[in-house]
Structure 1
Amino acid sequence: MPDPMLDRDDPAYWDMLYFFSHLPKSNGIIANTFEELEPPAVLKAIAGGLCVPDAPTPPVFYIGPLIAEEKQSGDAAEAEVCLSWLDKQPSRSVVFLCFGSRGSFSGAQLKEMADGLEKSGQRFLWVVKKPPLDEKTKQVHGVHDFDLEGLLPEGFLERTKDRGLVVKSWAPQVAVLKKESVGGFVTHCGWNSVLEAVVAGVSMVAWPLYAEQHMNRSVLVKEMELAIAVEQREEDGFVFGDELERRVRELMESEKGRELRERSRKMGEMALAAWGESGSSTRNLVKFVNSIT
């Protein structure tokens, strides 16, 4: 459950409560997902009114996946560096690590991540943000002006230069995920990122940070079976380097990882089919238009 929903002293709690209480009063709900992605039990529960026991359930129109046109937070040269590097890597060999436009980590966590990546032996593309001043903060806007080498273990960039690329703050995520060389995605489980990975047919290592991401992680791992979860320290979500190494290896090297990657590939095909001429999302969009005309 999102953190604000656990704290009645948080103004966001009351804002969300107000919003949720008005959903049953709407004439319909548009959801950026597609029927084939969602667990059948969830769709059945929503359609049967089990999610809103004391009020009518409005019709829900699943019309995704809708992927926003990528806004370039960095410059074209930065994007080209990432994409050109990926073009030189073997098929499905690269692990992409990116935690959204606002996800950030403490200096200590970055060092653990570097240690895990180095020990994993895998190729990687890693987007690193400047740590927040308050190490308890997990959200920060991208800043390009910082000493990357100073944040990472001494010699890390040199030791991994033949199989890894570390970039500051931003990478063209949609374009990266579509590259043939990308075989796995370590993600914060933000829904936009999840959909982008699903459309690209890329399996995930789930590392949630805030908001509804822990709930997304649970569904991705247990219901959809499109991700492997990292084990996080309960009190602060910290992940040790050995754990990251273990999960990256599991995704990229194990039989379970192979099955998960194949399932992700098939789900990517279903995502594209949902917007085909007779696809589920196309049909739902027609139903939505008919409901308002």
Structure 2
Amino acid sequence: MEKTVVLYPGFAVSHFVPMMHLARALLDHGHAVSVALVDSAVNPDAAFRAVVARAAACMPSVRFHTLPLVEGTPTLTPDAQFVLRYLDVVGRHNEHLRGFLRSSRGVRAVVVDSLSVEALGVIKPLGIPGYVLFTSNAAVLAAFVQLPAVLAEAQTSFRKLGDAPVELFGLPPMPASHLFGEMLEDPESDVCKATMAALSGIPEADGVLVNTFDSLDVRAVAALGDPRCLPGRVMPPVYCVGPFVGGVGDEVASQRHGCLAWLDGQPDRTVVFLCFGSAGHHSEEQIKEISVGMENSGHRFLWVVKAPFSDDPDLDAILPDGFLDRTSGRGLVVRQWAPQADVLRHRATGAFVTHCGWNSVLEGVTAGVPMLCWPLYAEQKMNKLFMVEEMGVAAEIVGWQRGLVEAAEVEGKVRMVMETEEGRELRARASAHKEAAAAAWDDGGSSRAAFARFLSDVET
């Protein structure tokens, strides 16, 4: 009988893609893979539907199964109630997941997304081991599993603490303002309670796979293995199996993106790449500040622009008059999307201005590119802290904290990373992490060994 692992991905591109990289690793090690998906009608995000379609097309060995949509299921929209709706969707589909698992043969384990831990309550009573894929880093995982208890003991909400530090075992002091947005809500609110309940469920898994590698997250990995990290509870095994980087289905693209041809014509390490993730965009005022800063810096740049409420932004309308003409030749502005991993690996790319989404961070690390941090949402402020203080691969653009990064800071930070000794030190540390990332999945590498432990535990 074939050995099957069922994957239950989340409803966001940034969570789905690492799960598909895990699928490939499982296939390479002789396991059959089934992917259970909630009906796409729940998620209006066209980018998510597109990546699911590409994965199904380019991974014929993976069996994709759609769980029927439960009547009354809310539609997922990117607003303050997103996480609450997300968890509601997971709960409503537990019975369909149970039915699918009962009808499947040879299931050795189920791996669920980190926001779908409620499904463990369905999986484990069936006698099937249940694991979590945590798509951020080990430091954020260490924070997340500790925060429910910290909040329960606190005399106030995290929001009221402002920038006062939250002390967590094994981690640097973290300003309360840097926490996941849902954690800053009133502790008695539905969204905060639901978020904390979900985080509390992570240690109930039989193990947690993390999209990182040991040497990038040394302090946090050690903390997760220490009983003091989770007093009164037992943290399950943590397997650092990353880095899982790059898109899914990119290899079947019909042609090379034009921005790569433009990069071919630029000198080595001279281009600043600005890209803010699949859901990141800026106001027109902010876009104009970036424009002025990049123009005044004098450096080459490739900038992916997303405008609010527009799938096809009118660049002439939102950029300063004459900007495109004045920067022609040394700058290229791309609407909406560029093949980020390919851009970062290109010899011409010298720095990366990023929103600090973890997939983007890993793509920067594996390319050996120094980064400038401009967090926007989710756990990105936490990632920024670790990138700057622990990993040493980035510097912070601080204006995000005031709601507007001014042109002078854009110019100054770009000049710093491209021209100064501080920038050269960032590059050297990024290059060292690049080498470590490449070694992690080699024979004897830490991630290969961690994945082997995971497979061994599944078979036990």
TM-score by length of 1: 0.91
Identical columns (%) = 45
Task: Return the offset for 1:76.
Answer: 5.7
Specify which of 405, 428, 453 is matched with residue 262 of structure 1. 428
Q: Which has the higher Rg, Structure 1 or Structure 2?
A: 2
Q: What amino acid does structure 1 have at the position aligned with 2:366?
A: V
Residues 4, 10 of structure 1: 8 Å contact kept: no
Output the CA distance in 2 between the equivalents of 1:29 and 1:228. Answer: 30
Q: Label 1:41 to 1:122 Cα distance change in 2 as closer, same or farther (>3 A).
A: same
Partner of 1:42: 220
Q: What amino acid does structure 2 have at the position aligned with 1:241?
A: A
1:94-137 Cα deviation digits (max 9, x unpaired): 000000010000000000000100011110000001224xxxxx
1:245 aligns with 2:411: yes
Task: Return the offset for 1:251.
Answer: 0.5
Residues 257, 339 of structure 2: 8 Å contact kept: no
State how many pairs are aligned: 278
1:89 aligns with 2:295: no
Partner of 1:3: 181
Partner of 2:210: 31
Partner of 1:283: 449
Task: Return the offset for 1:71.
Answer: 5.4
Q: Give the 3-state SS of the residue equivalent to 1:124 in structure 2.
A: strand
Residues 183, 252 of structure 1: 8 Å contact kept: yes
1:175 aligns with 2:342: yes
TM-score by length of 2: 0.58
Q: Determine which structure has greater relative contact order: mean sequence separation of CA pairs < 8 Å that are 6+ residues apart, divided by chain length.
A: 1
1:110 aligns with 2:276: no
Partner of 1:192: 359
Partner of 1:99: 276
RMSD, matched Cα? 1.6
Output the CA distance in 1 between the equivalents of 2:374 and 2:182. Answer: 19
Instruction: Please identify which structure carries the higher helix content.
Output: 2
Kindly report which structure 2 residues correspond to 1:69-218, keeping only aligned pairs within 5 A, or say none: 69-70=247-248, 80-132=257-309, 143-144=311-312, 146-218=313-385
Q: What amino acid does structure 1 have at the position aligned with 2:271?
A: V
1:6-30 Cα deviation digits (max 9, x unpaired): 1137644333212211122211100
1:246-285 Cα deviation digits (max 9, x unpaired): 1111100000101111111121111010000100000000
Output the CA distance in 1 between the equivalents of 2:367 and 2:198. Answer: 32
Q: Label 1:188 to 1:76 Cα distance change in 2 as closer, same or farther (>3 A).
A: farther
| Unmatched segments (≥5 aa) in structure 2 | 1-178
Q: What amino acid does structure 1 have at the position aligned with 2:445?
A: G
Q: Give the 3-state SS of the residue equivalent to 1:232 in structure 2.
A: helix
Residues 387, 394 of structure 2: 8 Å contact kept: yes
Partner of 1:13: 192
Q: Label 1:173 to 1:158 Cα distance change in 2 as closer, same or farther (>3 A).
A: same
Residues 70, 174 of structure 1: 8 Å contact kept: no
Task: Return the offset for 1:37.
Answer: 0.6
Residues 375, 400 of structure 2: 8 Å contact kept: no
Task: Return the offset for 1:169.
Answer: 0.6
Residues 246, 363 of structure 2: 8 Å contact kept: no
Q: Give the 3-state SS of the residue equivalent to 1:22 in structure 2.
A: helix
Task: Return the offset for 1:151.
Answer: 0.3
Partner of 1:292: 458
Output the CA distance in 1 between the equivalents of 2:342 and 2:441. Answer: 20
Task: Return the offset for 1:80.
Answer: 2.5
Residues 243, 362 of structure 2: 8 Å contact kept: yes
